[in-house]
Structure 1
Amino acid sequence: MPEQVSYVKEAIKEPLNIWAIVIFVALAVFAVTAAPDFVFLKWLAWWGPLVAGAAAEALYLSTLPNTPGYRRIVDQRNRRRALAERNRKREDLVKTFDPREREAVEYLKWMKNQIYQNYKKFTGVTEVPERIETLDVYWEAYVDLLDTYRRRKNHMRSINRQTIQNQMQQADRAIATAPDDDTRRLYHTNLDFLQKRMKTYDDMERSMKRVEAQLQSIESFFGLVNDQVITMPTPEHISSLDFESLLSSIELTREILDETAPIMSQLDISDRSSSQPARPPLEQRQS
């Protein structure tokens, strides 16, 4: 949830306001030193500029923060600050990627900048249309999805699907040869757990393939836009590209990932638990 902006605090921190406060205090000090050697005059010389400054400050804080123009300036400033912070965090995230992943991200970023430069060059405009600037959003989505993909891929490598299948077959055979009903129920419980693990694995595998396809579609779309910008007969030709469908597919992919996020959290907890030292057998604890 975005932080609530205090326009009064922003107005207080304005450099002009700070300098005005300094000037009034300096005037008070100067007036005291220049005033005749009378207590009342010195008192008046000291408090006169301070009271005037306080009145001016009260008027300033009661008017400027409430003006629509100043609020727009503050909102724009905060958006730029938030954007810079988000970009910094994303750049730090990219630094954690392996060389091949960083190369893919940097290439897509380079292509995005090339598209902007070529569009300005061929159309003679100074600003890229907002529709094309959505490539910034797609690049950010690419980085986020690639981060999710690589983390899940590393996690999937720690799971051996064939081992789970072998354990399920062993559980089936154990159920068939169980000596009594109680033992058979235990084997059924074990088989149920293994089947759930297999389903979890399959769900993660499907989400991985979805992310992989989404990453490839973003890469292909950047290439398409770049080709269209270079060969476009008119700037309006770019408007025929379906930017919205790509954004919709990205949002759908994120929803799918959100659905499997609890699964990943449970597996992370399981991994942390399995990394802890095992408890000794019961007979060792009792001895």
Structure 2
Amino acid sequence: MAPARDRRTGFSRRRQYGAFLAYVLAVAGALVGAALLVASRFNPPAFAAMRMAVASVTAPVSASAAWAIDGVVSVPDTIATYFFVHDENTRLRAELKRSEALLLRARTIAYDNRRLRALLAVRDRSADTVVTSRLVSSTASSGRRFALLNAGRAQGVEPGMPVRGPDGLIGRVVETGPAVARILLLTDAESIVPVRRTRDGLPALAVGRGDGMVDIRSVNTTNVRFATGDLFVTSGTGGLYAPGIPVARVVRTGNDSMPARTFARPDSLDFAIVQRAFLPLPPAPPAPRP
């Protein structure tokens, strides 16, 4: 049977010194406590001064300990906040991307609505509208300038009919199929349109250049002065185009022949209006009798 543990100090000096020191600290603590109790009872000002002196010594230690404890306690909150902010940032980025897509779609719809409203206003004012249809494609970068319209003979489209958009004249129909039509654009080198200047009625010709612009050339006169910004509209001469349709604006000052930029841009248009000729074509001569 194992002997019971001896709780006495015995001959171990370390245990003897430890016990002695504990007794001394206990007695000293009791004496200090008694002194403080007496001072607080019989001399409160002195007790208050001693208390503030002790507080002044221990305050920095307490502040440092409190700062360290707060730092340790805040570590989990900091980690949690980091992950929360990271997730929130990811969610906000995804939401911003969705919002940008919706905004782009809304702007596109608003732009299309404005153009369609302008086109409808033109169609409502014109009694000679044949059909309103979509421009399928256009040759905006080749030497010849044509466009394809998604309407043909089945919709009443015939060669020679003028085609316009909400901003101005586009060209004229040169070929038709059952459901499509080919349009010769104003900027084609084979296109010639009689026009007049809006500020004084000066007659001129809008001749295609084949590079996306037209030349405004004077008619039957010389030394005609063209100024930058001069506006030209169809004159009605020839009976094909109704008068007053916007055609082009001069981009440079000069004489006799100046480049101009068309108002209608077929490469950026979606829909166009096909109209009847301003003056009906004369009837075909009767066939000779045998």
TM bucket (normalised to shorter chain) is under 0.3
**Structure with larger Rg:** 2
Compare the two structures and name the one with the higher helix fraction. 1
User: TM (normalized to structure 2)?
Assistant: 0.27
